[in-house]
């Protein structure tokens, strides 16, 4: 079954069981009333405002960018490109106003141009303008195919405009992460100086993650692959930035580094349409893109576990999902029940929609933000469509006449409290219904469109809605894009423009994000087909559970009432503390069933939290209590017993200083439960490099300098395993994490093992060094920029040296290196002109340092440790080296620049040595 058929089933089949408590005459009367309301708003815009972007309904004039007092970020949606007209195109088509639609298309072609010196929001311009142009183009082709007398003159002009606008937005993607900058100048692109400012380098999750529907459609209609490629890359990068334990997303992040700026997670403003586009991208693009579905399912499960509190959806910390960040919700989250309908979770959709309806009944409109006790937090209401949207999808899925009555309430309130002689005015205060001189384009594009569809008793009256997918701005995109081909002449022109845009933009975007998850086929069902939903009484019972509650967070939902008890038998034996491993995903699932969550701390450690109410059953909750007590006792025993399997003997970091100092020393370091293990085996030798960004929580800068080196990074901001992944992606061979907590020290026995996130896909070693030792290492590094260190078990130092002696010589004596240079997919070998079997003096001094360390630690000579290993062995190894090729893919920075970099870092650490 294809995703398109599945989507149609989820939304359509249940409507067969409709009980018509509202007569068809009543519905048709309400439908005609919606048309009248839309015409009043649309005609007012065309009469008083066009070609301005928006109508000012109280002033009866148009709002042009720059001619009215600035409203801040709100005005970023305006570009002096007739926004409201473009946004309204497919609403005209859906309502069957074909003559007016054809006239509107001509107006857009004649008046709309994007060669303007104006800075616009990439997000808003995409969903409103590109989405509006695509929706208009699709409807024009659809109408002409079924009504040949209309639009016979149309030659895909709206698609040409959409392509031109897309090209003008492409410079926003000139970032190291692949995330788009929030704003772009339509004529001049990006001011690189401005793009580094705080205002321009931060973007919201929804802003970067709400492109794939429009841009994939644009790519597939025009043949320009860049649009879909860039949008998909941004989506993949966002997925990588999720918190690996909670699977939640933050709200605002840095487009260059990927660092989270605001770590609040929810489903409202700043993040809403990211989740919507994950699911809809799977529906639109088909099963080959099923990783969108798997991502959505992971996010959805976490949202329903952490963000949902009763029937409320409150923001939480993405890293500490049991901590709420506020006690109010914003109106944008009202889209969620509609998305739940499409995803098949009808029960939850009914309950949350009823909660929202209780707010509407209390205040007539949904305030811009409201509290969990149904009070007003932000009192404005710009006539948003999200609640109408969810009402429409619930009625379409269930056929329950209750939602027609909800729609009647919305319609009546709009007509009574927001209609003015020149259109419909937003409300600045829902409690006093005070009006504001504002009518956003989405009022015509979405609010009236969804109201019309709700009351349309003939779903296929003008356009077969079931053959289309709605964007977040309610624009129509076809589920079968192949039905909307363009002519050969236009295809040739698009190909020419594609090649030109590739030459201009593609070389700048060199940091393609790799997808961490393999594509895997997943079956997906529509739970809405359950027989119980044929009963309107059942749905009324679900709503009744929500009514009468004074606090949304205390509402008892169907999911919590009908929690199934797990059979407590031998096949489901409880996990014990001694068996538990934080890297085993099965163990993580078992803990979750017992109501135990792993919470990542800022310093990279984890802690276990038991919340009995989140367990799958009472028996599971009781098992969780026993597990927690076991873990407390087990950890006490582990810390006291060096023979415990969890007691990890620390490794060593040994600087091999040349020229040699009088004292040979090493630094004990903590190990990781993931990555390459160095206990009881040979260690690694490498030079050091101080990584940028220092946290290594995002893509490593200057990665050629990190290649084949051990990266020095600081603790904090993300999990240890995330840091290791960043280092490995930059081709480092290991990492040293510098601790910042002076209360922890190796001298006090504070060695512990760093944990992962259950997905052990790291292959390099990572160790943690406490601050006192790190200060000494950095001091030494500041004096010797090309210092070589050994990481591993000190007992294997000599063995590691002689086993890796050919590689070590390439480190201590750069003149011995053999380089491999890659150019455009072919390699060119640059061999040394002169090679000999003379042992380097530097290597001899290096060996002396090894002897000093071994003699000091083991009180016996090097010959006793490795009696069978001599420098003759090295000569044989060198013979093999001459016949082979060793690779060196990095360009070593100059000695002076490296020295200055290390000196600066040393001074920074020195200044902060005594800070808490």
45 alpha-carbon distance from chain centroid: 37
pTM above 0.75, yes or no: no
What 3 state SS string does 724-743 have? HHHHHHCCCCEEEEECCCCC
For 599-641, give the DSSP string: EE-TTS-EEEEE-GGGSSSHHHHHHHHHHHHHHHHHHHHHHH-
Question: 477 has which bridge partners?
Answer: 469
Structure tokens at 90: 């497919």
Report the pLDDT value the prediction gives residue 322, as an integer from 0 to 100: 83
Active site residue ranges: 124, 272, 368, 386
Has residue 907 got a pLDDT over 80?
A: no
**Residue 353's beta-bridge partner residues?**
none
Supply the pLDDT for residue 836.
Answer: 39
Q: What is the average pLDDT score of the chain?
A: 79
Note if the bond before 866 is cis, omega within 30 degrees: no
Q: 601-635: per-residue pLDDT in tens?
A: 554 556 777 776 677 776 777 788 778 777 766 66
In the predicted model, is pLDDT for residue 219 greater than 70? yes
What is the Cα–Cα distance from 682 to 873, expressed in whole angstroms? Answer: 18
Distance, CA of 226 to CA of 247 (rounded, Å) = 29
Res. 514: pLDDT tops 50? no
**In the prediction, which pLDDT does 559 show?**
55
Residue 478, H or E segment: strand 476-478
Q: Domain ranges in the chain? A: 24-503, 584-635, 656-797
Residues 267 and 314: their CA atoms lie apart, in Å, by 8
* CATH architecture of the domain covering 24-503: Alpha/alpha barrel (1.50)
Inform me whether the pLDDT recorded for 317 exceeds 70.
yes
Tell me what pLDDT residue 859 has.
Answer: 54
**CA–CA distance, 67 with 697 (Å, rounded to integer):** 44
Strands 369-371 and 328-330: antiparallel
Tens of pLDDT along 515-551?
333 332 232 333 444 556 667 777 787 788 788 777 8
* Phi and psi at residue 856, to the nearest 5°: -70, -40
Of 238-247, 343-352, 440-449, 452-461, least confident by mean pLDDT is 452-461
Confidence at residue 832, expressed as pLDDT on a 0 to 100 scale:
36
Identify the band that residue 396 occupies on the pLDDT scale cut at 50, 70 and 90.
Answer: very high
Residue 308's pLDDT band (boundaries 50, 70, 90)? very high
pLDDT score, position 807: 82
Residue 194 pLDDT? 56
Residue 783 pLDDT exceeds 50: yes
472 is annotated as contributing to ligand binding: yes
pLDDT tens for residues 832-889?
333 334 557 777 878 887 887 777 766 544 334 343 444 444 444 444 433 332 333 2
Residue 831 CB coordination number (10 Å):
10
- Residues 24-70: tens digit of each pLDDT: 899 999 999 999 999 999 999 999 999 999 999 999 999 999 899 99
Q: Please tell me the CATH code under which domain 656-797 is placed.
A: 3.50.30.30
The model's pLDDT over 630-654, given as tens digits with 9 standing for 90+, comes to 776 666 554 444 444 344 467 888 8
């Amino acid at each position: 079954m294809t995703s398109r058929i599945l989507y149609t089933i989820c939304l359509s089949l249940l409507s067969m069981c409709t009980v018509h408590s509202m007569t068809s005459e009543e519905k048709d009367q309400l439908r005609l009333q919606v048309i009248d309301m839309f015409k009043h708003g649309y005609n007012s815009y065309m009469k008083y405002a066009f070609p301005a972007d928006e109508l000012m309904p109280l002033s009866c004039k148009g709002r042009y960018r720059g001619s009215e007092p600035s409203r801040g970020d709100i005005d970023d949606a305006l570009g002096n490109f007739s926004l409201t007209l473009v946004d309204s195109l497919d609403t005209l088509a859906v309502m069957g106003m074909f003559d007016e639609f054809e006239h509107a298309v001509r107006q857009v072609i004649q008046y709309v141009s994007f060669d303007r010196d104006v800075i616009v929001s990439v997000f808003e311009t995409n969903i409103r303008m590109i989405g509006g142009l695509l929706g208009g183009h699709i409807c024009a082709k659809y109408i002409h195919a079924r009504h040949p007398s209309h639009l016979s003159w149309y030659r895909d002009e709206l698609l040409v405009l959409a392509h031109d606008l897309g090209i003008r937005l492409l410079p926003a993607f000139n970032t190291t992460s692949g995330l788009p900058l929030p704003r772009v100048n339509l004529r001049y692109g990006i001011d690189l100086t401005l793009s580094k400012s705080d205002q321009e380098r931060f973007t919201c999750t929804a802003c970067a993650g709400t492109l794939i529907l429009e841009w994939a459609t644009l790519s597939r209609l025009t043949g320009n692959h860049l649009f879909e490629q860039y949008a998909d890359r941004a989506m993949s990068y966002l997925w990588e930035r999720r918190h690996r334990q909670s699977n939640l997303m933050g709200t605002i992040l840095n487009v260059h580094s990927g660092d989270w700026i605001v770590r609040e997670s929810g489903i409202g403003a700043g993040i809403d349409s990211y989740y919507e586009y994950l699911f809809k991208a799977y529906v639109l693009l088909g099963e080959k893109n099923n990783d969108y579905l798997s991502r959505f399912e992971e996010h959805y499960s976490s949202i329903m576990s952490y963000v949902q509190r009763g029937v409320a959806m409150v923001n939480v910390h993405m890293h500490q999902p049991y901590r709420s960040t506020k006690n109010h919700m914003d109106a944008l989250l009202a889209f969620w029940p509609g998305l739940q309908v499409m995803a098949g979770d009808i029960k939850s959709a009914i309950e949350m929609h009823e909660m929202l309806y209780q707010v509407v009944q209390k205040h007539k409109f949904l305030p811009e933000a409201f509290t969990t006790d149904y009070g007003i937090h932000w009192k404005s209401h710009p006539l948003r469509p999200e609640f109408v949207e969810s009402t429409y999808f619930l009625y379409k899925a269930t056929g329950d006449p209750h939602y027609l009555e909800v729609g009647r309430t919305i319609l009546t309130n709009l007509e009574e409290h927001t209609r003015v002689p020149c259109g419909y005015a937003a409300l600045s205060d829902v409690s006093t219904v005070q009006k504001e001189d504002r009518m956003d384009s989405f009022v015509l594009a979405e609010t009236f469109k969804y109201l019309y569809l709700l009351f349309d008793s003939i779903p296929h009256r003008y356009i077969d809605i079931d053959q289309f997918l709605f964007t977040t701005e309610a624009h129509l995109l076809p589920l079968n894009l192949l039905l909307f081909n363009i002519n050969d002449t236009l295809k040739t022109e698009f190909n020419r423009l594609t090649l030109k845009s590739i030459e201009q933009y593609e070389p700048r975007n060199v940091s393609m994000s790799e997808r961490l998850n393999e594509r895997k086929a997943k079956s997906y069902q529509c739970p809405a087909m359950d027989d119980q939903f044929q009963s309107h009484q059942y749905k009324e019972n679900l709503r009744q559970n929500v009514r009468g509650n004074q606090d949304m967070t205390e509402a008892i939902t169907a999911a919590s009432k009908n929690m199934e008890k797990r059979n407590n038998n031998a096949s489901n034996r409880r996990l014990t503390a001694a068996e538990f491993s934080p890297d085993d995903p099965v163990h993580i699932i078992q803990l979750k069933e017992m109501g135990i969550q792993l919470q990542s701390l800022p310093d990279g450690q984890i802690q276990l939290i038991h919340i009995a109410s989140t367990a799958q059953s009472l028996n599971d909750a009781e098992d969780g209590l026993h597990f927690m007590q076991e873990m407390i006792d087990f950890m006490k025993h582990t810390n006291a017993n060096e023979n415990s399997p969890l007691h990890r003997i620390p490794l060593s970091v040994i600087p091999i200083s040349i020229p040699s100092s009088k004292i040979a020393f090493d630094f004990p370091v903590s190990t990781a439960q993931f990555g390459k293990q160095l206990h009881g085996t040979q260690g690694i030798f490498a030079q050091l490099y101080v990584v940028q960004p220092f946290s290594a929580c995002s893509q490593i800068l200057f990665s050629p300098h990190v290649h084949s080196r051990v990266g020095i990074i600081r603790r904090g901001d993300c999990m240890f395993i995330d840091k290791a992944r960043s280092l490995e992606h930059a081709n480092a061979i290991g990492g040293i994490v510098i601790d910042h907590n002076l209360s922890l020290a190796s001298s006090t026995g504070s060695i512990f093992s760093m944990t992962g996130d259950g997905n052990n896909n790291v292959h390099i070693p990572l160790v943690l060094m406490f601050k006192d030792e790190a200060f000494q290492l950095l001091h030494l590094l500041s004096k010797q920029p090309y210092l070589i260190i050994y990481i591993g078990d000190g007992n294997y130092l000599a063995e590691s040296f002689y086993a890796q002696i050919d590689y070590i010589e390439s480190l201590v004596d750069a003149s011995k290196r053999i380089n491999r240079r890659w150019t455009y997919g072919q390699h060119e070998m640059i061999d040394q002109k002169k090679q000999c079997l003379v042992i380097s003096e530097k290597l001899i001094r290096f060996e002396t340092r090894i002897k000093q360390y071994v003699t000091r630690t083991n009180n016996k000579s090097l010959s006793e440790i490795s009696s069978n290993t001599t420098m003759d062995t090295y000569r044989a190894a060198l013979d093999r080296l001459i016949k082979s090729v060793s690779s060196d893919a990095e360009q070593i920075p100059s000695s002076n620049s490296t020295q200055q970099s290390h000196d600066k870092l040393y001074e920074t650490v020195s200044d902060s040595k005594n800070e808490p």
